[in-house]
Structure 1
């Protein structure tokens, strides 16, 4: 069965993958994340996911990619030609990409910052007084939660209103937060975890402020984390991918299924329809205009593939 799936990918679905990437690169906002997996006889391998949330007129796309290693070169090569904002965690190669390109801006993730402080607070024993380190961590969590609270009030507002709220109400709090973080001298902090959390926040400051000037940018990279988590759940079931072709095929099938769902399609019905149309053409010889009609976001997709919309009462 695995061999059949790989063959279908190699003979018919590769052009679909390339067409999805072509559309993805047009997006002005991308989320990016990666996760390791096991491939026998090779060093640790990585699956990447890039997610376009569909803002700015383009369709929502989830594109999983087997790029092998986890380094700046592979993702920089992959993003060649991209012009927009990349929402990521604090992985340094993303920042290097930004420094090497005039077209890419990196936005940081407050969820990662908050998590480091929240873990310190969670270590507090119930009923006992917080330690000095835990009190500092609790204050950091409180401050970050305030950013989210104020921003969520304008979740359904226009970009203009969201930007105004961020500039007038959230920016002062963000500036105060980083000024407060910098009051702590790492050398005087005895808690290793608190020292790491404070240093992480300080080092990410530039990227964590990107959202203030871009109303379409979220405060975190949770979209990509949720996307890559689906692959993580799967890998605990099948444990290994034992070939490069298998990894590439897996990436494509995940991409089709998740993008289909994001565009209101039923993955199984859509996959059946997609393959039934592709086999009408010689292998990898599907005309570009016909491929566009088969994409998950195309209006040409038949109703049998679409989820029924819930009727409002």
Structure 2
């Protein structure tokens, strides 16, 4: 049960408290779903990374081709400028020749011849250039196809990014993006070097182009200009796409940071909440081992088989076949010389009909004073007008309240044994049992009121009949545990009035181990100091765990306080090892352990005061520290009373069985059903604490009620564990 520190007394119909157990289960389910989703998306991320690597390769290829196209465009542009300058130079030279009186026709023929020879020599190079141009044209179309494929791949990648953005742990992805940025920067540096090489090639190509005809150069330049315009438009689109991808990466990085924080909070919540409910002796922390291996140790004496002297024996005789008892050679018979004895344990559970024949006897004399006819007395019945004997009812009560089975499963189980009984018949019998067990419940509570040490706790219950009154079906199952008794009470209220029904008649000086719920504090005030409250350290410990739930920065602080509390548990265990209850003056070892425990408690509360002094009012850890400091008196009662335990685990363990029964049967349908449930849980819990066999006790109790006319016996002493004699206890104790 979660801790409760409210100082204000709740009203009987106040708001319902937070169900920490349910909150933990919901948080645990969300955390497990998140971890499953993280695992699933991790594999999706691996696939996405593989595809992204392919996309990066395609992107690098497309970028390289784009850079080559840009270089060719620049080369063509320079060639066009060079061709224009060459034409102007040719015209100037013609003018100079004409002015010098040189025959331009003869010069032209000679120059053309020389040009033809040169062109023939340059023909292979021109053909190679043409092939490169055709390849460039083909690459241009391939670049378009690659760009379309890249766009489709980029769209698919964006869809993958949208799917993986809900991934909790994105740290690896951020590092991968960082490495990719480094690769891109390295690729840019390499592209700059390639650009320099292309410049050198363009200079060489310009020198070659000067020797070509102007018409061919003009046509090539126009085609190159058109290609360059198309490449420029493609570069613009790719630049926009790159900018959009960079913005997407930035958004993903921001989302990754948020998700990392949320996942850390959920993991911390799950870790601390799991430690609250499922930790192994979490209050004690580490326990020293005994050094003995588990299981049977070779060479060590075993405990042997369990003796069962009370079991009924059914002897079976098994003889060899008649043919085997005759000698096969001479035909003489064998003679019996004894028997080999062995035993098997069997269980036989089967319903049967008990037919009762009561003989009738008529007088043969004429005496008027004698009755005319006599007959045997009728067999006692627990309930009139019912065909079921006490063994059926005791088995139903045992299955319902000791084995915690719901009514419909008990009905099915009886049907499997050959005794079909409707579930409605079992449910309708509830009001008949309440008068039979009310005296036992009152006797248990009266005996418990004499105890010097009691444990108290409460949990929710359901009474469906309360809905008919226009209110919630929620009720409360209260428990009080003594040295040899367990008492339960179901009440619609969680107020001090309900607590008074269990603890209103305690003797003066009784120590009540409980949590810090304000009702117990008010109970102590109403009883005028007759009750001394020892607050539960396990609940105090859970406060620190709840404070650090979902707070990664408080994990170390929480562990330090848990270790302080565990140290107090260890010191108290060491003190109890030297305690002798029957001796008033304890030995020196106990006194030393007592001093060490007191010093540890003083240091713990002093540390709480120091931390509180340095914390702001709204600090998250302040609530647990203030509760620790404010409840110091109630948390240290066990220091002067060694028999008082530090925690309320005994009451919480007593509630475990009824809580399982509540979950299986959804509580009680009626107020009477809730009353019987509390009575039966009290009886069963008390019998179990004293080692009494519950089925055997129920059989005997219901048979006694049947012989008493369907009412409980007047003398309860033979039925109560603390008042029955030794012979009676041996009779009702489970064998073995």
TM-score bin, normalised by smaller chain: 0.7 to 0.9
Secondary structure, counterpart of 2:540 in structure 1:
helix
Give the deviation of 1:114 after TM superposition: 1.1
Distance 2:717 2:733 in 1: 17
Give the equivalent residue in structure 2 for 1:296.
Answer: 721
Distance 1:218 1:122 in 2: 27
Per-residue deviation at 1:308?
A: 3.4
Name the structure 2 match of 1:7: 432
Which whole-Å CA distance do the structure 2 matches of 1:295 and 1:174 have between them? 41
Q: Structure 2: which 5+ runs fail to align? A: 1-425
Could you tell me how far 1:282 is from its partner in structure 2? Answer: 4.8
Kindly indicate whether residue 493 of structure 2 is the aligned counterpart of residue 63 of structure 1. no
Counterpart Cα distance in 1 of 2:628 and 2:430: 44
Which structure has the bigger radius of gyration? 2
Partner of 1:135: 556
The structure-2 alpha-carbon separation of the partners of 1:177 and 1:51, relative to structure 1 and needing over 3 Å to count, comes to same
Unaligned regions of 5+ residues in structure 1, if any? Answer: 55-59, 125-129
Structure having the larger proportion of residues in helix: 2
Per-residue deviation, residues 125-152 of structure 1 (Å, max 9, x unmatched):
xxxxx62x22222111111101111111
Residue 210 of structure 1 deviates from its aligned partner by 0.7
Is 1:103 the counterpart of 2:530? The answer is yes
Q: Secondary structure at the match of 1:45?
A: strand
Deviations 1:218-237 (A, max 9, x none): 00000001111221111110
The alignment's C-alpha RMSD in Å is 2.4
Match for 1:233 among 649, 660, 663?
660
Cα gap change, 1:16 to 1:107, in 2 (>3 Å)? same
Q: Distance in 1 between matches of 2:721 and 2:513?
A: 24
Following the alignment from structure 2 to structure 1, what is the Cα–Cα distance between the partners of residues 519 and 487? 20
Q: Deviations over 1:65-109 (max 9, x none)?
A: 123311112212432220211100111111122223231111011
| Separation in structure 2 between the aligned mates of residue 210 and residue 275 of structure 1, nearest angstrom | 43
Greater RCO (CA < 8 Å, at least 6 residues apart)? 1
The yes-or-no answer on 1:279 pairing with 2:706 is yes
Structure 1 residue 242: Cα displacement? 1.6
Higher strand fraction (1 or 2): 1
* 1:91 paired residue number: 517
Question: 2:430, 2:672 within 8 Å by CA — same for their partners in 1?
Answer: no
Write the distance in 2 (CA, Å) between the matches of 1:165 and 1:99: 35
Q: 2:728 is paired with a residue of what secondary structure?
A: coil
Task: Find the counterpart in structure 2 of residue 158 from structure 1.
Answer: 580
After superposition, where does 1:111-260 map in structure 2 within 5 Å?
Answer: 111-119=538-546, 131=553, 133-156=554-577, 157-159=579-581, 160=586, 164=591, 167-185=594-612, 188=616, 192=620, 194-260=621-687
Distance 2:462 2:592 in 1: 45
Q: CA deviation at 1:5?
A: 3.5
Structure 1 pair 166–6 and aligned structure 2 pair: CA distance change class (3 A): farther
Question: Residue in 1 aligned with 2:496?
Answer: 72
Preserved CA contact (<8 Å) 1:72 1:97: yes
The farther-off stretch of 212-221 and 195-204 is 195-204
Task: State the number of aligned residues.
Answer: 293
CA contact (8 A) 2:458 2:477 kept: yes
Instruction: Say whether the 8 Å CA contact 1:108–1:207 is kept in structure 2.
Output: yes
Q: Does the C-alpha gap of structure 1 residues 210 and 81 become closer, same or farther in structure 2, counting only changes over 3 Å?
A: same
Query: Structure 2: how far apart are the matches of 1:140 and 1:19?
Result: 43
* TM-score between the two structures when normalised by the length of structure 1: 0.85
Structure-2 residue corresponding to 1:127: none
The structure-2 alpha-carbon separation of the partners of 1:285 and 1:274, relative to structure 1 and needing over 3 Å to count, comes to closer
Q: Compared with structure 1, are the counterparts of its residues 306 and 178 closer, same or farther at alpha carbon in structure 2 (3 Å cutoff)?
A: same
Cα deviation, residue 214, structure 1: 0.8
1: distance between equivalents of 2:601 and 2:718? 45
- Give the distance between the partners of 1:111 and 1:185, measured in 2 at CA: 21
User: In the TM superposition, what is the alpha-carbon distance from 1:171 to its structure 2 partner?
Assistant: 1.2
Shifted more, 23-32 versus 153-162: the winner is: 153-162
Report the Cα offset of residue 9 of structure 1. 2.1
Structure 2: distance between partners of 1:241 and 1:285:
24
Distance verdict in 2 for CA 1:189–1:307, change over 3 Å: farther
Kindly tell me: are residues 166 and 220 of structure 1, through their superposed partners in 2, closer, same or farther at Cα, counting changes over 3 Å?
A: farther
Q: For the residues of structure 1 that align with 2:704 and 2:458, how far apart are their CA atoms? A: 32
Report which stretch shifted further, 75-84 or 86-95. 75-84
CA distance in 1, matches of 2:617, 2:662: 39
Deviation at 1:276, TM superposition (A): 1.7
Partners of 1:153 and 1:69 in 2: how far apart?
Answer: 41
